[in-house]
Each structure stands twice: as structure tokens, then as C-alpha cells.
Amino acid sequence: MKRIIAVVMTLFLILPGFAAAAAPWGEQAGSDNPGPGDQERVRAEENSTAGDRVQQRIAENATPRGEEGAPDRDRVRSAVHALLAAENRIGGIGADVSAVAREIENSVRATTPAEEQIRTRNHFIRFLLGGDKEAARMIGEEARQNLERTAELRRAIGNCTCDDEARTMLREQIRAIEWEQKRLETLAEEELQNRGLLSWG
């Protein structure tokens, strides 16, 4: 990402000069006989416009560091809160669903710092030592346990005496949780496979 920004900024500094040098005098200011002041004004306008475009592109393409998984975690938190809120609507399994939802919520709290640690790992350290194996193993284990928990929730929903609307809502929340756990499993696997120059195992 830093390289891309450096290249864009270099282009930002160089290209307006080339464009101004290549354009005939009459085309720059829009008149037949521009003076030196007009030429400098046009160059300043070109530079500010190019700068605005560069900044806009950087803002559009840049994902703030450490926020790549945030929407997915938020979706899981919303799903957990929906499961907790549904405790009274789903009859006899409500307490069981709430207990599992709390375990998943605790798991999300545990995996969030580990995921941030992976995402913010120094590139040079990653090159030399590879991925953060400890954080990846923890994330992988939590994701596996959460998938087991969602399977337990699915079995409980099968025995639910609740209405179809509540059952559908529960299944949607479980799907959101499962999707996030599969994403975390993939992240953990990729991090474990990231071998550095000096890694032995």
C-alpha cells in the first residue's frame, strides 16, 4: 500500500509539469496571447485538480488498517444480540440459545485482537519470520469451536416449538455467524501457511 501511495504521489508531482510543457501556449489559458502570470495560474489549477483526484483515489481505494474484518464482526455481534433478544420468543430452548450466543460473543471478543495482530504485523517481520502462528492457531481454534456451537444451535432449532418466523430469524443469524467463522478459518489457514525466510516449521 505504501508503494502505491509513493508511486501516485510521484506521478502527482511529475505529470502536471510534463503536461504543461507539452501543451502549446494558447491552449493552456484559453486565449491567443497568454502572459506568464496566466501560465502559472493554469499550472496551479492543474496541480490542485490533479492533487484532488489523487487524494480522492487514495481515499476510495484505501481500507483503513485493522478495519478489514470489522463489518463481518459487526454482523456476528448483531446476530448474537438477535439470538439473545429472542430468548423469550423461542420457548424452551431460549436459555440454551442464549448460553451458546454468549459463548460466541466471548469468542468474538477474544479473536478480534488476534485478528488485528495478524493484520497489523510488520511486513519485514512477516518476510523474515512468516505469519503470526500463535494468533492464527487461536483464531482457527475459536472458529472451529464456534462452528460446533452453531451446529448445536441448528439442532436446538430443529426441536424448537416456536413459530416459523422465529425459526427463520434464528437460521439467518446462525448463517451470519457461520459465514464469519469460515472467513476466520481461512484467515488462520493463510497465516499458518505464510512461511518466512527464517522460519523452520
Together in a domain, 23 and 89: no
Whether residue 186 lies inside any domain: the answer is yes
Q: 65 or 194: which carries more pLDDT confidence?
A: 194
pLDDT at residue 193, as a whole number: 95
Together in a domain, 41 and 113: no
Instruction: Look at residues 61, 79, 98 and tell me which one is the last residue of a structural domain.
Output: 61
Residue 195's alpha-carbon distances to 129, 169, 182, in angstroms, are 7, 42, 22
Confidence (pTM)? 0.63
Domain total for the chain?
2
pLDDT digits (tens, 9 = 90+) for 86-124: 887 787 788 888 999 999 999 999 999 999 999 999 999
Q: Where are the alpha helices (DSSP H) in the chain?
A: 2-22, 25-29, 36-61, 70-85, 94-119, 123-129, 133-158, 164-193
pLDDT digits (tens, 9 = 90+) for 48-85: 444 444 344 434 433 344 455 678 788 999 999 998 88
Together in a domain, 81 and 179: yes
Taking the C-alpha atoms of 104, 109, 111 and 114 in order, what is their torsion angle to the nearest 10 degrees?
A: -170
Instruction: Look at residues 28, 61, 94 and tell me which one is the last residue of a structural domain.
Output: 61
Together in a domain, 93 and 179: yes
pLDDT at residue 166, as a whole number: 87
pLDDT digits (tens, 9 = 90+) for 128-147: 999 999 999 999 999 999 99
Amino acid at residue number 62: A
Together in a domain, 54 and 128: no
Instruction: Look at residues 39, 61, 83 and tell me which one is the last residue of a structural domain.
Output: 61
Could you tell me what percent of the chain has a pLDDT over 70?
A: 65
Together in a domain, 53 and 74: no
Domain that holds residue 77: 70-193
Whether residue 155 lies inside any domain: the answer is yes
Q: Which three cell numbers stand for residue 144?
A: 472451529
Whether residue 200 lies inside any domain: the answer is no
